[in-house]
């Protein structure tokens, strides 16, 4: 083999290995992202950059109340009234082969995600009434919300329910401009992708997000 060809092949090999390692790190450990919507205002604003911790997905650990998480966007949005007793969100059918699974879950081609705050945990009774959120009949203190902001229920059946096992109930901080679990139901552990670790841009806001 000619030295020039061998050198090119070595570079191609190195690039392929680097890409594979980067994808593995991105999927199992962490990755940066950009805030694209306004559903988490004022906590997170559009074009801010975050570092996402994906170790929780790797270890299959449920997040805690107050954590800001990202998860796969559900396939079904309800309006008016939930026509089932199942309050778990519904998702697209899983890819049918290894390649399509790799492209969807690892490369994230054609995959949308939401970013919201965890409000209700498995087994807890959640009730939204008179602009307030109640967990197990006790009003939830939400210091991250602007003073006077009311939380409205959006779908009958997702305003008074018990969070199923291995799921969480999450909402955006910008309650009136957030498509969240009030409209599609609770998020299964397997659909949670990451937890927001720190804000990395703008630099004057660098640090932990609460």
201 band by pLDDT with thresholds 50, 70 and 90:
very high
- Rounded Cα distance between 175 and 152, Å, is 8
Q: 39 an active-site residue?
A: yes
pLDDT in tens, 96-135: 899 888 888 888 888 999 999 999 999 999 999 999 999 9
Average pLDDT for the chain: 93
Q: What is the reported pTM?
A: 0.91
Q: Is the pLDDT of residue 185 over 90?
A: yes
- Give percent of the chain above pLDDT 90: 74
Give domain 31-208's CATH architecture. Ribbon (2.10)
Mark whether 152 is an active-site residue. Answer: no
Whole-angstrom distance, CA of residue 182 vs CA of residue 129: 13
Which of 34-38, 48-52, 107-111, 151-155 shows the lowest per-residue confidence on average (mean pLDDT)?
107-111
How much of the chain, in percent, has pLDDT values that exceed 70?
Answer: 99
Q: What is the pLDDT of residue 70?
A: 97
pLDDT in tens, 66-90: 999 999 999 999 988 998 889 999 9
pLDDT value for 62: 94
Q: How far apart are CA 143 and CA 156, in angstroms?
A: 26
User: Is the confidence at residue 136, as pLDDT, over 80?
Assistant: yes
pLDDT of residue 149: 93
Residue tagged active-site, from 60, 116, 132, 152:
116
pLDDT at 1: 64
- Mean pLDDT computed over 22-38: 92
CA distance 207 to 22: 24
pLDDT at 8 over 80: no
Q: Which of 6, 39, 96, 101 is catalytic?
A: 39
Flag the least confident range among 38-47, 78-87, 148-157. Answer: 78-87
């Amino acid at each position: 083999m000619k030295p020039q060809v061998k050198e090119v092949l070595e570079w191609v090999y190195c690039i392929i290995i680097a890409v594979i390692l980067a994808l593995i790190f991105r999927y199992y450990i962490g990755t940066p992202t950009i805030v694209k919507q306004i559903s988490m205002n004022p906590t997170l604003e559009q074009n801010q950059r975050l570092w996402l911790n994906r170790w929780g997905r790797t270890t299959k650990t449920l997040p805690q109340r107050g954590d800001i998480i990202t998860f796969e966007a559900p396939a079904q949005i309800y309006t008016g009234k939930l026509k089932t007793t199942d309050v778990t969100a519904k998702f697209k059918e899983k890819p049918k082969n290894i390649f399509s699974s790799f492209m969807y879950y690892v490369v994230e081609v054609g995959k949308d995600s939401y970013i919201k705050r965890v409000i209700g945990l498995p087994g807890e009774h959640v009730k939204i009434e008179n602009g307030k959120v109640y967990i197990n009949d006790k009003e939830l203190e939400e210091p991250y919300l602007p003073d006077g902001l009311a939380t409205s229920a959006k779908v009958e059946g997702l305003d008074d329910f018990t969070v199923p096992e291995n799921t969480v109930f999450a909402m955006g901080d910008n309650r009136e401009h957030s498509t969240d679990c009030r409209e599609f139901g609770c998020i299964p552990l397997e659909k949670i992708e990451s937890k927001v670790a720190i804000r990395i841009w703008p630099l004057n806001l660098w640090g932990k997000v609460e």
